[in-house]
Amino acid sequence: MSTAAHVHPATVLLGAQAGRQAIPVCDHYSGVEVRMRKSLQLQQEMREEFGHCVFDVTLDCEDGAPVGLEREHAALVARLAREAAPGARVAARVHTVDHPAFANDVATIAGEAWDRLCHIMIPKVESLDDVETAVRALDAAGARELPLHALIESPAAVHRAFDIASHPRIQSLSFGLMDFVSAHGGAIPASGMTSAGQFEHPLVVRAKLEIASACHAHGKVPSHCVVTEFSNADAMQAAARRASREFGYTRMWSIHPAQIRPILAALAPDDAEIARAARIITAAVAADWAPISEDGVLHDRASYRYFWQVLDRAHQTGRVLPEQARGWFVTDGGSAVA
């Protein structure tokens, strides 16, 4: 067996992308202090359960800050981020770039806690100019390496999604369903905001597909919108599964702790797919990455890449990997490493 067989699968199959950390498939939002603290505690508990972070906690200024107390709320978010457990994945959603509180949000949160944050979420991004405004603010706060996530919430922003996704600081685009529907002035019925209806109305479907396509075109993460029926776990899991299997989303928002595990379950590969992926990658390693036959089907590096991504997604979602695959993943880092 040559030395090529001992190179980590991520390096062989993903090349330069192998060093890029995959982000968790769930992004959990909270904006009230008691809930923010509980979310961070839950993240730590589930991290101990699974061996790595399986969801991000995004501390919310846009919907969380009481009117008139935006500065105090930004200071609270910065403090909570600094106090989070080592290795926690904490983000912040700031106000829109044209909001009076935006500059202080970034200066306070990114300026004081940039080294404890995994990203900053910018809501209602309309264009590359909005992204550049956010980048300049982050750079001025000393957070030059901090990734940006952008929330796409209008028809015009959907039209520019490919341009927005192309920016090197953008790591993920999220779809803002309710603002998107509202932006149509009643042309989309209220059913377009429900867990089922959002997958049926043509304008909403088109927006979802454009955002997912823009992300995949530029190697970014498409993040699906919330499901507001948070007490209906079946509706939550069904929506997450459709977003993943039919629309290409690899990440989803949670707005209630009860939504986190259904999202993980829905975005995870099933057991049979995980087992098959482990068999194929193990055989590929043994063959020095030359083509192999599995049940009469030819596999080479193109399909190996797919099956490696199945294993990585299984790890990200907390699934138990077959024994032969476990050594390819680290605990507490959340991603495959060479």
Provide the CATH number for the domain around residue 197: 3.20.20.60
Assigned domain for 6 exists? no
Phi, psi dihedrals of residue 122, rounded to the nearest 5°: -110, 115
| 162 in the same domain as 182 | yes
Query: Residue ranges of the chain with pLDDT lower than 70?
Result: 1-6, 15-21, 330-338
Assigned domain for 286 exists? yes
| 212 in the same domain as 304 | no
| 314 in the same domain as 258 | no
| 281 in the same domain as 260 | no
What pLDDT was estimated at residue 233? 82
| 251 in the same domain as 224 | yes
| 172 in the same domain as 86 | yes
Question: How many distinct structural domains can be found in the chain?
Answer: 2
Domain boundary among 267, 282, 317: 267
What pLDDT was estimated at residue 338? 35
| 211 in the same domain as 95 | yes
Assigned domain for 83 exists? yes
| 298 in the same domain as 260 | no
Domain boundary among 220, 236, 267: 267
Assigned domain for 201 exists? yes
| 185 in the same domain as 73 | yes
Specify the long-range contacts of residues 261-265, CB closer than 8 Å, at least 24 apart.
Answer: 262/233, 262/236, 262/237, 263/25, 263/26, 263/55, 263/236, 263/237, 264/25, 264/26, 264/54, 264/55, 264/317, 264/318, 265/237, 265/317
Q: How far apart are CA 16 and CA 39, in angstroms?
A: 34
| 275 in the same domain as 227 | no
Host domain of residue 90: 26-267
What pLDDT was estimated at residue 14? 76
| 255 in the same domain as 183 | yes
Assigned domain for 73 exists? yes
What pLDDT was estimated at residue 333? 44
